[in-house]
Structure 1
Amino acid sequence: MTAPPASATEHRPGAPALRVPDLGRLPAVTEALAARAAEHDRDASFPAEGFVLVQDAGLLTATVAARHGGSGAGLADTVRILRALGAGDPAVALVTAMTLFTHAAEARTPGWPPAAYAALLDAAATGPALVNALRVEPELGSPVRGGLPATTARRDGDRWLLTGRKIYSTGAVGLSHLLVFARTEEDPVRVGTFVVRAGSPGLTVEPTWDHVGLRASRSDDVVLDSVPVPLGDTIGLAEPGEIPGARPDPETGAWNALGLTALYLGVAGAARDWLTNFLHQRVPTALGAPLATLPRFQTAVGEIEAALFGADTLVDTLAARVDSGDPEGAEQAGAVKVLGTRAAITAVEQAVALTGNHGLTRANPLQRHYRDVLCARVHTPQDDSVLLTTGRTALDRAIARSTDGPHRKATDS
C-alpha cells in the first residue's frame, strides 16, 4: 500500500495527518498482540496497549477515504489486516474491524455530519480513536431481524437526549465514538444513528461481559440516561419502514462477512501454528520420536492445512472481486462466511482432538483459540439467514430456468 497523494491530506488545513498503513509491520504487530493475549483473556481486561500498536502501524485508519486524508484501503487489504490481528488477539481485531468498517462505509456512502467526522479523524491522527455501532438491545436483539429500538431520542432545543440500554457493545470501555441506534419521540417516529462521544454526561458502561470467548473485547452494556447529542449529529434519520442499515446493502454486508471471517481464520491459523509446534516438541517415551513423525498426525495436519488454505483463498478472492465492483461477489460473501467460519471452527476442534488434555490445559493457548473461534457463529449474517437466502435464490433460479426454455421435470426419467 502506498501513501495517498499530497493533495488528499489537505482536507483539514492545520489538522494532524493520518498515519500511512504499513502492512509490512503486520507480523510484528501479530507477535506483540499475541504476547499479551492470554493475560487479557484471563483477566477479561481491555487490551488498550494493543490498539496503540495497531494505531502506530497506521492500521486503524487504513480505510479512511483519500478525500479525507486516508489511504482508502479496500476490502482485500482489510481482510489481510484482520487475519493478522485475529492471529494475535482477536479482541483487538474485532474492535479494529468495527472501526475499519465505519471508515470504509463513510468512504463509500458519506453519511456522517462533516464536523463530527472531522473531529473523529483529528482524534484518530493523534491516538487510537475506536468506533462501533451500538444496535443490540435486551428485548430487540439485533435489528437486522426487524423491529424498532427501545432506545429513544427526545428533542430538547438544539440537542437530542438519548435514553436506553445497549447490550453486547463490543469495546465499549475504549470507544471514542458510539454510534447509537435509536428512535425519536416524534410523530411520526424516525429511526437512525446518533453520534455519541465518549465521556458524555449520562453515559455509563456497566461491566456485564462474562463470556467464554473474546473475553478481552469488553462487550459490556451501555446505559444512556438523557445523554445529550447535538441536533445535527445523526446519520440517516428515516421513517421506520426505511431504516438505513437495518438490512445492509450487499457491499456493506460483504465487508462485514468477509472481514470477520478473515479474523476468525486468523484465530484458526494461530491454533494450527501452535499445534504443529506441539507435535514437533512432544516426544512420548514409548515412541521415542516426535508425534510429528507419525503419518496419522501428518494426515490430520494436512486436513487442517487444506481446509484453512481453501477458506483463506475464498475470502481473498471474493474480497478482490468486491473491490473490483463485482455485484455477484458481494452477494456471495455470506455463503463464504458460512464456509470460512465453519472451516475455522472445525480446524481448531480437530487440533483440540489431536492434543487431548494438552489442548484443553489453560497454560496452553489452544483452549483460548477454541473459545474465541466459536464466537464466529454469533456475528451477522448468521448461518441460518445466509442458508435461507442462498437456498431461496437457488430455488428461484431453477424456476427461472424452467420458464426460459425447454426443460425436463425433475420427475422425468
Structure 2
Amino acid sequence: MTALDERRTALPVPDLSEEGLAAVTAELAGTAQHYDRSGAIPVAGIDAVHRAGLLTATVAERFGGPGVSARDAARILVALGEGDPSVALLAANTLATHQGQAAAGSWPAARYAEVLRRSAREPTLINAIRAEPELGAPARGGLPATVARRTGDGWSLSGRKAYATGGTALAYHVVWATADEPDGDPEAPRVGHLIVPADLPGISWIDTWDHLGLRASNTHDVVYDDVALPADAFVEIPRGADGVYRDPAAAAGPASFGHPALYVGVARAARAAFVRYARERVPAALGRPIAETERIRTVAGEIDALLAQAETLLFGALLRIEAGDTAHLPQLSLLKVQIARSVVAAVETAVAALGNPALTRHQPFERHLRDVLCVRVHPPQADAALLDAGRRLLTR
C-alpha cells in the first residue's frame, strides 16, 4: 500500500439529482425559522447536510472524495440556501476549503487525512478565520495583527478575529496571521494561514453575533491566546514577484462563487413563498386568489426574470470555465456583484408587492429579505470590484 492509499478515506458520493437536492432543501427549511429565532447552532440542518454527503462533496478524488465540479458545488449551495442559508454558509466555507486543498494541496498530508477520517464519521466544519476588529476585511488591504510567533518546535498563535462564522461548531480554523520569526524580515514578514484544530487550549469565544440576517450562522469573535501549533501548521501565502503582499480574497475565483450561490437559493425560497401566498390569498373584495390578477402576475414575472438573470450569470460563468474559456476570469468579481444585485432585487420585489404581510414574522418573506441582504458583505464588495474593473479597463 502506498502512502497516498494510506491517506485515502472513502467518502460518500452525494445524490446531486434535482430530487435528491430538493429533499435536503425541504429538511433544512423545516427548521430554518426555529434557528433564525433562537440564533442557536443549526445542528439539525448541519446533520442533514452531513448525512447527504454534501459537506465533503468537493474533496478531490485523489483523497477519496467525489471531487464534484465548481458548478455542482454551486448547485449544492443553491439548494442549501433555499432551505436554510445559515447552514448553507457553514457548508460553503467547508466546501471552499476542500476545493482549495484539491487545487493546491497545501495542508500537511497527515492533518488533512485526519480531517477526512473525522468527516466520514461526523459533520466536520472548517472555516477561514480572517477578519479582525481593527483591520476589518482582509480584502481591503493591510496585514493581520494576529501573530504566529516561532517557538522551538512550532508556533504560538495570538490575536483576536471577528466574524468567525461557525463559532463553536467549527472543527478546524484556518487562521490568517503574520509570522514573527527570528530570521524573518520585519519589513516584509511572511503572511499565511495556520491550520488550527478547534479544541486546542487557548481558544475562547466572545458572543458578538447579533445580526440582521443569517442569525444562526454563529459568526462570533474568537480569541487565540498562545495557542501552540506544530511547525507544519503554517501555510504561507506567497508575495508577488515585486515583493508586495496581495490578499487572495481581493478578487473572485471559481471557488468563491459558493457564496453568491447560496443567496440564489434564498431568492428561490422567496419566489416559492410568493407563489404560495398569491395562490392562497383571497381578499373578500376580490373573491378570487390574487394570483389571478394581472398585477401579481406581472410581479411574479419580474421576480422570475431577476432570478433567471442571477442563475444564468452564476452557472454561465462556471460553465465557461469548464469549457476551457477563461476570457471572463478578470470579470468574476463583477459577475458576483451582478448576481448579488439580482437576488436582492428579486426578494425586495416580492416584499414590496405584498406590503404588510411580507413584513410580519408570521410569513417567511422578512426572513428571506434579512438573509439575502448579507450577500453584499462577501468580498470583494461592490465598490472594490467596480473600482478594480474600471481601473483595469481604463489603464490597458
Indicate conservation of the 8 Å contact 1:113/1:234, yes or no. no
- Residue aligning to 2:232: 232
- Residue aligning to 1:63: 58
Shift of 1:99: 0.8
Match of 2:248, SS?
Answer: coil
Match of 1:377, SS?
Answer: helix
Q: Deviations over 1:154-176 (max 9, x none)?
A: 22221211111000001121111
Match of 2:327, SS?
Answer: helix
For the residues of structure 2 that align with 1:105 and 1:329, how far apart are their CA atoms?
Answer: 21
Shift of 1:245: 7.1
Kindly report the root-mean-square deviation, in angstroms, between the aligned alpha carbons of the 2 structures: 2.1
- Residue aligning to 2:197: 197
Shift of 1:336: 1.4
How many pairs are equivalent?
Answer: 388
Distance 1:238 1:315, change over 3 A: closer
* Structure 1 range deviating more: 26-35 or 188-197: 188-197
Distance 1:109 1:244, change over 3 A: farther
For the residues of structure 2 that align with 1:203 and 1:337, how far apart are their CA atoms?
Answer: 34
- Residue aligning to 2:165: 170
For the residues of structure 1 that align with 2:244 and 2:275, how far apart are their CA atoms?
Answer: 48
- Residue aligning to 1:109: 104
Shift of 1:72: 1.2
Q: Deviations over 1:190-224 (max 9, x none)?
A: 21111100110001122110001000000000111
Shift of 1:396: 3.7
- 1:132-171 equivalent positions in 2, closer than 5 A: 132-171=127-166
- Residue aligning to 2:24: 29
Shift of 1:242: 5.4
Match of 2:255, SS?
Answer: helix
Indicate conservation of the 8 Å contact 1:10/1:69, yes or no. no
- Residue aligning to 1:379: 378
Q: Deviations over 1:256-295 (max 9, x none)?
A: 1x22111111101100110111011111111111111110
For the residues of structure 2 that align with 1:199 and 1:243, how far apart are their CA atoms?
Answer: 34
- Residue aligning to 2:48: 53
1:228 partner amino acid: A
- Residue aligning to 1:307: 306
Indicate conservation of the 8 Å contact 2:7/2:109, yes or no. no
For the residues of structure 2 that align with 1:244 and 1:123, how far apart are their CA atoms?
Answer: 34
Structure 1 unpaired stretches of 5+: 1-6, 398-413
1:23 partner amino acid: L
2:193 partner amino acid: T
1:247 partner amino acid: P
- Residue aligning to 2:283: 284
Indicate conservation of the 8 Å contact 2:139/2:250, yes or no. no
For the residues of structure 1 that align with 2:237 and 2:328, how far apart are their CA atoms?
Answer: 29
Indicate conservation of the 8 Å contact 2:8/2:113, yes or no. no
For the residues of structure 2 that align with 1:259 and 1:266, how far apart are their CA atoms?
Answer: 11
User: Is structure 2 residue 11 aligned with structure 1 residue 18?
Assistant: yes
Identity percentage over the alignment? 47
Between structure 1 and structure 2, the one with the greater Rg is 1
1:306 partner amino acid: A
Distance 1:307 1:51, change over 3 A: same
For the residues of structure 1 that align with 2:316 and 2:238, how far apart are their CA atoms?
Answer: 36
1:167 partner amino acid: A
Indicate conservation of the 8 Å contact 2:138/2:247, yes or no. yes
Shift of 1:14: 8.4
Indicate conservation of the 8 Å contact 2:264/2:307, yes or no. yes
2:40 partner amino acid: S
Shift of 1:69: 0.7
Indicate conservation of the 8 Å contact 2:171/2:198, yes or no. yes
Indicate conservation of the 8 Å contact 2:249/2:379, yes or no. no
Structure 2 unpaired stretches of 5+: none
Distance 1:245 1:233, change over 3 A: farther
Indicate conservation of the 8 Å contact 2:129/2:176, yes or no. yes
For the residues of structure 2 that align with 1:159 and 1:359, how far apart are their CA atoms?
Answer: 55
TM normalised by structure 1 equals 0.89
Q: Deviations over 1:364-409 (max 9, x none)?
A: 1110000000000000111111111222233345xxxxxxxxxxxx
- Residue aligning to 2:220: 220
1:246 partner amino acid: D
Indicate conservation of the 8 Å contact 2:31/2:44, yes or no. no
User: Is structure 2 residue 35 aligned with structure 1 residue 40?
Assistant: yes
Indicate conservation of the 8 Å contact 1:19/1:56, yes or no. no
1:276 partner amino acid: V
* Structure 1 range deviating more: 238-247 or 271-280: 238-247
- Residue aligning to 1:72: 67
- Residue aligning to 1:316: 315
Q: Deviations over 1:178-197 (max 9, x none)?
A: 00111122232321111100
For the residues of structure 2 that align with 1:39 and 1:343, how far apart are their CA atoms?
Answer: 27
Indicate conservation of the 8 Å contact 1:153/1:185, yes or no. yes
For the residues of structure 1 that align with 2:260 and 2:7, how far apart are their CA atoms?
Answer: 39
For the residues of structure 1 that align with 2:139 and 2:310, how far apart are their CA atoms?
Answer: 26
- Residue aligning to 1:363: 362
TM normalised by structure 2 equals 0.93
- Residue aligning to 1:182: 177
Shift of 1:248: 4.4
Distance 1:15 1:238, change over 3 A: closer
- Residue aligning to 2:265: 266
Indicate conservation of the 8 Å contact 1:283/1:290, yes or no. yes
